Structure formats: structure tokens, C-alpha cells
Amino acid sequence: MTSEAALPDPHRTGTGPLRRMTARSRDEAHRTATPLELFFDLCFVVAVAQAGGQLALNLAEGHLAHGISGYAFAFFGIWWAWMNFSWFASAYDVDDVAYRVTTLVQITGVLILAAGVPRVFADNDLTLAVVGYVVMRLAMVTQWLRAAAAETGGARTMAYRYAAGITVCQAGWVLALQLPHDVLPYVLPLGILAELSLPALAERHTQSAWHPHHIAERYGLFTLIVLGETVSAATVAMQTALDEHEAVGELLPIAGGGLLICFAAWWIYFARPVHDHLASNRQAFLWGYGHYLVLGSAAAIGAGLEVAVEHAVGKSHVSAAAATAAVTVPTALYLVTVWALHARYSKTGASQWVLPVAAVATLACTAAGQSGVLLAGLVSAAAIAVGVVLHARQSPV
């Protein structure tokens, strides 16, 4: 007998290379991430790795402001393009030939952006990164035009608003490349604000049919992949340091603390399902936008661990406190933002304060210097242990 989960998806069945791109149902059962979406995530994390690597390089050299500003800009381009595709796909994925090819074009765009990330940091040259970004976003315009052609009424108007708004924003980015470098710091925030405002304007009267469970899973999977990249970056840094310096005694505390932080980051994010809290556009947009800090801080932890390793073997140009802060600051930011976005919804009483207190304690570990990374890891592990105990006490027998 065929199981319900194995039944064909009526929205994704049919023949020919082109299907009508009508909205999917929010009540659709068994909605999970597709292999194309997973491939999309894996390619996007290449750009995340580039941004994290450049952040680590700048922090280790003591270029704090330049490193953070470059990372914030590069990560915005990566995150925003990923986020827009994920929400669109949640509503309109038809998995036909045209949809697949357009998605592959977006992947090509992020790889172009990734190739341009080092130039953003080294020479403030945004050209290649913006070209990659524009490729991704114009591909989304074609997707929204397809949706508009298949929809009627308010849904069609919404799709046209997205297509027009994205096109205008991309024209703005191209024009920004013609401006003098000393003007760009004042113009770039305006472009970012325009991009962030577009979904609220486009969906002012009609909401896209995103699927709460699917969206929660998509964000969870991308967070998982970013955390994996963080572990990978830290491992490569450890291996390089050991091959060149064999400083096992100095590196073991960093390795132990880094692993505890990454394990705790995974634990707190996936402790409770969050899709039930995504009941409206307002809740979902705030939750989705907040993941800029969740994902950005998760990737920055890996960069911070690289800095801590370089300091331990005498290759960085920063103090022990600064090297430790490269780990503790993004860790604390991650703890606070995950708590604010969804962990707090399942907390009551004393358990509500575990993660905020852990974030403050993590920041305090910065003062411990080189041993601060291990202490921050122990704080993260203690937060998980305390949370588990409090949850067990509050749960009915």
C-alpha cells in the first residue's frame, strides 16, 4: 500500500518543461526541502566561507572596523539573495525545467559574488560582488514575472510589485558602482534599506503563500550548514597551526572551547520547533530578518576561532583579549538572537533567562585572555545543562 508521504505532489506533477507557476497551499502536508534547495544552500555557503575567511584575516591583522564593515556588507548580499529565493520557493516552487535553470543561474550569481568578496575587503572594489548579486536578483525577477503571468487579482499585483521593485534596486546598485569610493558609505545603506523594505511593500495587501513548516526547515538547514562551515574553518586553522608550529598545548583549549560553542549553538537552535510561531507575515518577517544576525554570528564564530588559533601560535597582530573577543562577541550575539527569535517562546520562569545570562557570561570570558575561548565553551555547555534540568523540572511527569 502506498504511504501518504509517497503520494505524488499535485503541484509538481505534469509534463513538459514549463508549468503554471500558481501559489502552493499553506496547508500542504509533508512539505520539505528539495534536493535543489539543498544544493542551493551548499553553493551559497561557499560565499559565506569567503566572507568569514576575509573577516578572520582582517581581525587577525587588527583591522577591526574594515573587517566588520566588509563582512556585514558581503554577508548581507549573500543572506538577502538566499532569503528571497527561499521564501519565493516556499510559495511557488514548480520544479520544472525553467525553474531549475533559473535557480542554477542564481547559484552562478552567488559564486561570482564569492569570487568578488576578497576584492571587497582588499581594495573596497565592489564591482564583481555587485555583478554576482545583480545576476541572482534579476533571475528572481524572471521568477516573479512567471508567477504574475499565472496569478490573478491581488497575487498578480504582488508579483509585479516584487519584479518591479527588485529591478529598480538592481539598477540602483549598478549606478552606485559609478560613484566615488568616499561616497559609497553613505549610499550603500540606502540600497540595503530599499531591499529590506520591498517585501513589506509588495505584500502590503496580499501575502505570498509561504509554508510555515517549510520555511522553518529551510532556515534550520541553512543554519546547520553554516555551523558546519564554522567547524570546518576552525579545523583547517587548527591543522595548519599544528603542521607549522606543533603548539598542541596552546591549541587544545581553543579546540575544546570551539567545539563546545558549536555543539551548544546547534542544541539551542534545534531545541524546539518554531513553525507554529510563524502565524503571520509580521511574525515571520521579523523572524526571517533576525536570522541575518543568527547566520552572520554563526559564521563569524568560525572566523573568530581562526583568529584565536593564529594568536596562540604568534601569527596575529592583536592582543589576547582581542583574539578572544573575536570568538566571545559573535557567540554572545548568537545566544541572544536565537533566544529572541524563537527559543524564548518555549521558555517559562527561570529558564527564560538562561540564554541571556549565558550571553553576558560569555562576554565576560573575554577578560580571561587566551583561556577565554575554553571558558566561553564551558559557559555554553553549562547553559545547555541548566536549560535541560529546568525543562525537566517544569515538564509534567
Per-residue pLDDT tens digits for 136-164: 999 999 999 999 999 999 999 999 999 99
- Please tell me whether residues 359 and 245 are part of one structural domain: yes
Per-residue burial over 230-246, b = 16 or more CB atoms within 10 Å of its CB, e = otherwise: bbebbeebbeebeeeee
**What is the share, in percent, of the chain residues with pLDDT greater than 70?**
92
Residue ending a domain, choose from 169, 202, 235: 202
pLDDT of amino acid 161: 97
- Please tell me whether residues 252 and 125 are part of one structural domain: no
Q: Which residue has the higher pLDDT, 261 or 21?
A: 261
- Please tell me whether residues 157 and 249 are part of one structural domain: no
Residue ending a domain, choose from 202, 230, 247: 202
The neighbour count for residue 249, using CB atoms within 10 Å, is 8
pLDDT of amino acid 369: 86
Q: Which of 50-64, 165-179, 238-252 is least confident?
A: 238-252
- Please tell me whether residues 174 and 246 are part of one structural domain: no
Domain assignment of residue 98, yes or no:
yes
Domain assignment of residue 25, yes or no:
no
Nearest to 345 by CA among 294, 285, 276: 276
Residue 17 has pLDDT above 80, yes or no: no
> Which range of residues forms the domain containing residue 59?
30-202
- Please tell me whether residues 217 and 327 are part of one structural domain: yes
Q: What is the DSSP string of 156-214?
A: HHHHHHHHHHHHHHHHHHHHHTTS-TTTHHHHHHHHHHHHHHHHHHHTSSS-----HHH
Nearest to 43 by CA among 86, 119, 123, 104: 104
Task: Give the integer Cα–Cα distance in Å for 140 and 170.
Answer: 11
Residue 14 has pLDDT above 50, yes or no: no
Task: Give the integer Cα–Cα distance in Å for 257 and 250.
Answer: 12
Domain assignment of residue 5, yes or no:
no
Provide the pLDDT confidence category of residue 8 given band limits of 50, 70 and 90.
very low
pLDDT of amino acid 348: 67
- Please tell me whether residues 87 and 235 are part of one structural domain: no
The answer to whether 237 touches 313, Cβ cutoff 8 Å, is: no
Residue 4 has pLDDT above 50, yes or no: no
The answer to whether 304 touches 327, Cβ cutoff 8 Å, is: yes
The answer to whether 113 touches 133, Cβ cutoff 8 Å, is: yes
Provide the pLDDT confidence category of residue 91 given band limits of 50, 70 and 90.
very high
Over the chain, what is the mean pLDDT?
88
Task: Give the integer Cα–Cα distance in Å for 167 and 147.
Answer: 16
Q: Which of 106-115, 205-214, 275-284, 363-372 is least confident?
A: 275-284
> What's the pTM?
0.89
For the chain, the domain total comes to 2
Q: Which helix (H) or strand (E) holds 91?
A: helix 64-92
- Please tell me whether residues 224 and 125 are part of one structural domain: no
Residue 228 has pLDDT above 70, yes or no: yes
- Please tell me whether residues 144 and 234 are part of one structural domain: no
89: its cell numbers: 520557493
Q: Which of 158-162, 171-175, 242-246, 389-393 is least confident?
A: 242-246
Residue ending a domain, choose from 202, 225, 246: 202
Q: How far is CA 339 from CA 115, 385, 392, in A?
A: 34, 16, 19
- Please tell me whether residues 46 and 134 are part of one structural domain: yes
Domain assignment of residue 120, yes or no:
yes
Domain assignment of residue 385, yes or no:
yes
Q: How far is CA 44 from CA 58, 121, 133, in A?
A: 22, 19, 12
Domain assignment of residue 18, yes or no:
no
pLDDT of amino acid 377: 95
> Average pLDDT for residues 63-71, to the nearest whole number?
93
> Average pLDDT for residues 305-311, to the nearest whole number?
92
Provide the pLDDT confidence category of residue 22 given band limits of 50, 70 and 90.
confident
- Please tell me whether residues 196 and 219 are part of one structural domain: no
> Average pLDDT for residues 83-108, to the nearest whole number?
94
**What is the share, in percent, of the chain residues with pLDDT greater than 90?**
65
Domain assignment of residue 12, yes or no:
no
- Please tell me whether residues 136 and 181 are part of one structural domain: yes
Domain assignment of residue 130, yes or no:
yes
Provide the pLDDT confidence category of residue 36 given band limits of 50, 70 and 90.
very high
Q: Which of 5-9, 108-112, 187-191, 242-246 is least confident?
A: 5-9
- Please tell me whether residues 176 and 106 are part of one structural domain: yes
